[in-house]
Structure 1
Amino acid sequence: MVQPQSIYQKTARSARHGQGWHNFGAGKYGIDKWEEYWTYLYNDDEITWGPDPELTPLGKSQAQAIYRCWAAEAPLGAPIKPDEMTWYVSPFTRTGQTLEESWGALLGRAPEVWEDWREVYGGHTCDKRSTRTILQKRFPSFKFEEGLTEEDELWKEDDRETDAHMQMRAQRAMDRLFGNDGAKETYISVTAHSAILRNLLAVLHHQAYPLATGEMIPVVVKATRLRANS
């Protein structure tokens, strides 16, 4: 017989990165032509969007708007102190830049980089990450998980990840968050991507909510740890 052992609750501030150059490209060419052709290339004669594109100036300003919001709320008691919160981020430049711009001086500890928070992988060149070495040079204050490989071994040119697999990743990430190596704090920040956050909400049986670039939503999660009686 299985009995409830412990009940845990966390509030996840879930943010999609600000506009990246791939998002700019999709707007430039239109989503249909982008998905059909341009997303499989690395650049055109004006911009580069793969692999691992950076934020556009608009993307940085979107992230900075989040910072201004938190900076205004912090003096009013918003729970964002280092002993109240842990920050997580996907291993991509656009998410790392978004996290830095959206938290700034309020960032109280080293953000943890987990590959399970990455965007759907395969096919689209924007979703191929940089090497671990490059990411560590770009974000020297971040804490990279031990299992993050040097090269992106998950991205394949001709194989796109499915929603079912993304939901497995999202579930694994949540299991880690509520497990022994996860956050002890009630409040967490996750800076990630549209598809993984969409699938995270599906795993949590939350109503669908497609995040715009540079948008953040809070999600309250209650987890019950079970134990089997002998």
Structure 2
Amino acid sequence: MVQLQSIYQKTARSARHGQGWHNFGAGKYGIDKWEEYWTYLYNDDEITWGPDPELTPLGKSQAQAINRCWAAEAPLGAPIKPDEMIWYVSPFTRTGQTLEESWGALLGRAPEVWEDWREVYGGHTCDKRSTRTILQKRFPSFKFEEGLTEEDELWKEDDRETDAHMQMRAQRAMDRLFGKDGAKETYISVTAHSAILRNLLAVLHHQAYPLATGEMIPVVVKATRLRANS
């Protein structure tokens, strides 16, 4: 027999990274040609988009627009203090840069880097991450989870991750957040990617909402922790 233990509610502020050079490339060539050919390469004669591309100037300005919004809300009591909020980010340069530009001086504690927040992996070169060493040098203030390997062991050139597997990852991340050793804060910031956030919304039975680059959506999540009677 299962007995109700407790109910928890958190607000997840889920943000997609700003425009990266791979997004620019998709616009340059058109989505059809991009998906059929260019996304499997690392560059053309003008730009490089893989692996692990950085933000474009537009991408940085998109993230800075979020920062201006939070800076305006902070004096009005927005719950973004270190004891109210915790920050998570995927292990990619574009998400790390987006988080830094979005929060700036408002960032009250070290963001935690979880691989479960990464983008769909395999095939597309933009979705292959940098080594752990490179990421730690780029983001020395971030807290990297212990299990993040040095090399990207998940990305395969000829094997693209499925939505079903991404939803398993999203569910695992939420189980971590709401578990006994999970986040104690009510407010959570997650800076990630379009596909993982799309699948997170599916796991939460939320209506579909495709985030544009540099866009953030708040989602209220209620979880019930159960325990079995002895």
What TM-score bracket applies, with the shorter chain setting the length?
over 0.9
* Overall identity of the aligned pairs, in %: 98
For the residues of structure 1 that align with 2:153 and 2:130, how far apart are their CA atoms?
11
Map 1:1-230 to 2 at 5 A: 1-230=1-230
2-structure distance, mates of 1:150, 1:44: 27
- How many residues are matched? 230
Q: How far apart, in 1, do the equivalents of 2:3 and 2:204 lie?
A: 21
1:86 & 1:221 partners in 2: Cα distance? 15
Secondary structure of 1:110 counterpart? coil
Shift of 1:84: 0.3
Q: How far apart are the structure 2 equivalents of 1:217 and 1:93?
A: 21
Q: 1:20-67, CA deviations, whole angstroms, 9 ceiling, x for partnerless residues? A: 000000000000000000000000000000000000000000000000
Taking structure 1 as the reference length, the TM-score comes to 0.99
Post-superposition shift, 1:181? Answer: 3.0
Offset at 1:109?
0.1
Please state whether the residue corresponding to 1:227 is helix, strand or coil. strand
Deviation at 1:229, TM superposition (A): 1.2
Report the Cα distance in structure 2 between the residues aligned to 1:49 and 1:66, rounded to whole angstroms. Answer: 24
Compute the displacement of 1:208 (Å): 0.1
Distance 2:24 2:182 in 1: 35
1:92-149 deviation per Cα after TM superposition (whole angstroms, max 9, x unaligned)? 0000000000000000000000000000000000000000000000000000000000
> CA separation in 1, counterparts of 2:36 and 2:51?
18
**How far off its partner does 1:80 sit?**
0.1
- Counterpart CA distance in 1 for 2:181 and 2:46 is 44
Per-residue CA deviations over 1:134-182 (Å, capped at 9, x if unaligned) read 0000000000000000000000000000000000000000000011332
Q: Name the TM-score, length of structure 2 as normaliser.
A: 0.99
Q: State the shift of 1:209 in Å.
A: 0.2
Partners of 2:172 and 2:181 in 1: CA distance: 12
Q: Distance in 2 between matches of 1:103 and 1:201?
A: 23
Alignment gaps of 5+ in structure 1:
none
**Following the alignment from structure 2 to structure 1, what is the Cα–Cα distance between the partners of residues 79 and 98?**
20
Cα separation, 1, equivalents of 2:109 and 2:119: 24
Residue 4 of structure 1, CA deviation: 1.0
Displacement, 1:183? 1.0
**Aligned to 1:197, what secondary structure does the other structure show?**
helix
Tell me, in whole angstroms, the C-alpha distance in 1 between the residues paired with 2:57 and 2:167.
Answer: 31
SS at structure 2 position matched to 1:26: helix
Displacement of 1:215:
0.0
Rounded to whole Å, the distance in 1 between the matches of 2:82 and 2:39 is 39
Q: Distance in 2 between matches of 1:134 and 1:159?
A: 24
C-alpha RMSD of matched pairs (Å): 0.4
Q: Runs of 4+ in structure 1 displaced over 6 angstroms?
A: none
